[in-house]
């Protein structure tokens, strides 16, 4: 049986939700923190840029504690990781990720209008 590794955006919308275990959670989720440094540790499959895009976070923006949790949830629900945890201290955040090795093989066929027109004419 062949295993396919799907791009992260496909996984974000297609696979099951996994448990998220935050390492640290701020007492007041309404406090805004300006994110100066963000690091993703543990994934051998995805680049820092891909993970940053998947998390929805942007450096220099202000976030609440709930926003950091939402980013962890987004990574977790992608199905790309068997475990997601994070910690932050206000200006810096680090997400610890364990790649999920159980992928479902998929084949996508895309039909364009041109192919459909040809099949109707033929």
pLDDT at position 21 over 60: no
Task: For 57-67, write each residue's pLDDT tens digit.
Answer: 999 999 999 99
- How does pLDDT run across 82-106, given as a tens digit for each residue? 999 999 998 999 999 999 988 776 7
Residues in a beta bridge with 95: 40, 86
The answer, yes or no, to whether residue 10 has pLDDT greater than 70, is: no
Question: Regarding predicted confidence, which is higher, 64 or 1?
Answer: 64
pLDDT for position 26:
40
Question: What's the whole-number mean pLDDT along residues 51-76?
Answer: 94
Report which of residues 5 and 67 the model is more confident about. Answer: 67
What whole-number distance in Å separates Cα of residue 94 and Cα of residue 97? 10
Q: Which fold has domain 8-121?
A: Ubiquitin-like (UB roll) (3.10.20)
């Amino acid at each position: 049986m062949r295993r396919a590794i799907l791009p992260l955006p496909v996984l974000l919308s297609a696979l099951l939700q996994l448990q998220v275990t935050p390492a640290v959670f701020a007492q007041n989720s309404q406090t805004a923190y300006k994110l100066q440094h963000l690091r993703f540790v543990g994934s051998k499959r995805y680049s820092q840029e891909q993970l940053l895009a998947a998390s929805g976070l942007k450096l220099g923006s202000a976030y609440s504690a709930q926003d950091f949790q939402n980013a962890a949830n987004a990574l977790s629900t992608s199905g790309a990781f068997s475990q997601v945890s994070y910690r932050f201290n206000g200006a810096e955040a680090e997400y610890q990720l364990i790649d999920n090795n159980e992928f479902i093989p998929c084949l996508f066929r895309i039909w364009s209008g041109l192919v459909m027109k040809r099949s109707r004419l033929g």
